Structure 1
Amino acid sequence: MNDKNKRIITIFVYISIMGIGNYINSNILSKNRTDFEILLVSFIIQFIGSLSIIYIVKKYYGWKNIGFSKINLKSIIWFIPYLILITLILTDFLKYIYISSSSFTHIMWAKLGINFIATLLVGFCEEVIFRGILLTKVNPKDNILKLMILSTFWFAIIHVVNIFMGMPLGSVFAQMIYSGLLGFSFVSLAIKLNNLWPIIAFHSLWNFVGVSSVLVGYKSSNISSLIVILNIIVGTILWISIIKQEKNKTININETRKLT
């Protein structure tokens, strides 16, 4: 099996599991289930999807080859704005949880626990697929810019599966644009950092706060809206930097060929 087919199969398998699973959870299973039961089924679906990704990575790629190598500490500065942002958002959310905790039932705590694990798995799987596998250069001739564009495009497209969860088409389209901007920045961050763990951490915590906010009735602060501006600024700067590096590599290769 060639690398192109592996990538297509990886995306297809994950989208199929999530899409079919969420459709069954939202439209086929009993409507009389509690919110906890619906959340639990969603967790099981995500767990199955995660196992499929882990299997594919171990069988065809290897963890070091898809973004789990030694982190580039010189480039960590580009992640600091994201670290500050998620710290502020998470701190405000946890303050709300602390103040409201006396009114939480055991079921609510169970929901938060399940949601934390589920969003961790989502962040892990999506980063492994879109900023790991899709960015893997199998041979020196692979065009990294083309891979970056494909990564950004497919990360936006995958969110169409939310239609199967009953989300309105307009909301799905808006989320695809929003996710596309996040992918635009994160794909360049993944290359610069040479490691996916910082991005996985941000992605997972961001999703956790977002989903948990609905569960506990928390209204996020306006600071979360800064993510769009941050994605555009950081993404644009890093894309320009990577494009320049690729051009310099091409020039050096051509000059070397002329000399030989």
Structure 2
Amino acid sequence: MTPAGDGAHVSTTGRPRSVWLALAAVVVYIALAAGLGNLLSGLVRDDESTAQFALGHFIPLAIAIALLLLFLRWAGWGSDVWRERPTPTLIPRRWWLLSIPVLVVLGPIGQLGDVPWVSRSIGTILVIAAGTLMVGFGEELVIRGILLTAVRARHGELATLLVTSFVFALAHIPSSLIAGVSVGAIAFQVVALASVGAAYYWVRRVTGRLWVGMLVHAFTDGVLYLASGAGTPAASMPQGHPGSPEVFPAIVQSLLLLATAIGVISVIREDRRNRRAASDAASSAAT
């Protein structure tokens, strides 16, 4: 195994951390969330958006999450799926990385004013909150939990960041195809969602806890769904995370893109430090 970041823990218990096995878990999750989710939501009339949302989220995601938890029990993968040592406590400290989860949370907070609260019933808000909580739990568990630790067990942090970010983006393509989105629009979505995936990668690493990313993901999706003027997305893995033209969210998104870009440079340097440390350790052992 290669070093899993500066001081990050890699469990050696259970079945080997296979990237292909983790990707298989992602495929099963997508099939349930996007495939079954769209199929079930299609059973409800288009003018009943809340019922569409509930049917397209609660059943497929409950099945998908249960299967993921059973997978973890079967695989015997360790607690590092759920937690790791927070990056700012490592050497070098890199306290500036705290800005990324802060900016991620500020984005949806800035959009709360766009939500038409008067036209959203309490029941609709609760349904969306429950559904997006399931989305956040499921997507973060399979991407930043299972897949991340599998890639990290065999590769460095740059590969871990890139693979999890682009798999996260590519996982939303099936819903886009079902919705009839053009190829050009899908290509744009992949790039945009990959940057979102990179930001969520840092939410996990900076806080050291997967559940924080789950809550942030759920909060972000919930606000976007409630603020959407087009109604409530039915599929449990929607094809995109729509942005906002407002000034404050645009500034936050720009700063977040800058911070995540610098974060890529940070993991490149981190991998170099880990390789030097491994080389020095090997040299010391040889002598």
* Shorter-chain TM-score range: 0.7 to 0.9
Matched, 1:57 2:72: yes
Number of equivalences = 252
**Which digits, 9 at most, give the CA deviation of each residue in 1:146-196, with x for residues without a partner?**
232211120110011222552522443332221111112332443344322
Equivalents in 2 of 1:66, 1:148: separation in Å? Answer: 15
**1:181 corresponding residue in structure 2:** 195
**Which digits, 9 at most, give the CA deviation of each residue in 1:68-96, with x for residues without a partner?**
24645646753345435635743762695
Q: Which runs of 5+ in 2 are unaligned?
A: 1-14, 232-242
**1:251 corresponding residue in structure 2:** 276
**Which digits, 9 at most, give the CA deviation of each residue in 1:96-147, with x for residues without a partner?**
56xx44x55xxx3222111111111111222222222222158865333223
Equivalents in 2 of 1:69, 1:77: separation in Å? Answer: 18
Residues 114 and 227, structure 2, Cα contact 8 Å, conserved in 1: no
* Structure 1 letter corresponding to 2:148: L
Residues 119 and 208, structure 1, Cα contact 8 Å, conserved in 2: yes
221-230 or 2-11: bigger deviation: 221-230
Equivalents in 1 of 2:21, 2:272: separation in Å? Answer: 28
Residues 19 and 164, structure 1, Cα contact 8 Å, conserved in 2: no
- What TM-score do the two structures reach when normalised by structure 1? 0.79
SS in 1 for 2:217: helix
Residues 25 and 41, structure 1, Cα contact 8 Å, conserved in 2: yes
Equivalents in 1 of 2:81, 2:47: separation in Å? Answer: 39
**1:22 corresponding residue in structure 2:** 37
* Structure 2 letter corresponding to 1:248: R
SS in 2 for 1:136: helix
- What TM-score do the two structures reach when normalised by structure 2? 0.73
Equivalents in 2 of 1:87, 1:226: separation in Å? Answer: 10
| Residue pairs, 1:67-146, within 5 angstroms | 67-69=82-84, 71=86, 74=89, 78-80=97-99, 82-83=101-102, 86-87=105-106, 89-90=108-109, 93=112, 100-101=117-118, 104=120, 108-136=121-149, 142-146=155-159
Deviation at 1:33, TM superposition (A): 6.4
**Which digits, 9 at most, give the CA deviation of each residue in 1:9-57, with x for residues without a partner?**
2111101112221331355x35466223211211222222222222223
Residues 162 and 172, structure 1, Cα contact 8 Å, conserved in 2: no
* Structure 2 letter corresponding to 1:235: T
**2:257 corresponding residue in structure 1:** 232
* Structure 2 letter corresponding to 1:204: A
Equivalents in 2 of 1:241, 1:173: separation in Å? Answer: 26
RMSD: 3.2
Deviation at 1:251, TM superposition (A): 1.7
Matched, 1:39 2:58: no
Residues 47 and 118, structure 1, Cα contact 8 Å, conserved in 2: no
Deviation at 1:209, TM superposition (A): 0.5
* Structure 2 letter corresponding to 1:234: A
Deviation at 1:7, TM superposition (A): 0.5
Given candidates 144, 161, 167, the residue that maps to 2:174 is: 161
Going from structure 1 to structure 2, the CA distance change for 1:200 and 1:222 (only over 3 Å counts) comes to farther
Equivalents in 1 of 2:269, 2:22: separation in Å? Answer: 27
* Structure 1 letter corresponding to 2:249: S
**2:3 corresponding residue in structure 1:** none
Going from structure 1 to structure 2, the CA distance change for 1:254 and 1:32 (only over 3 Å counts) comes to closer
Identity %: 16
Deviation at 1:60, TM superposition (A): 2.0
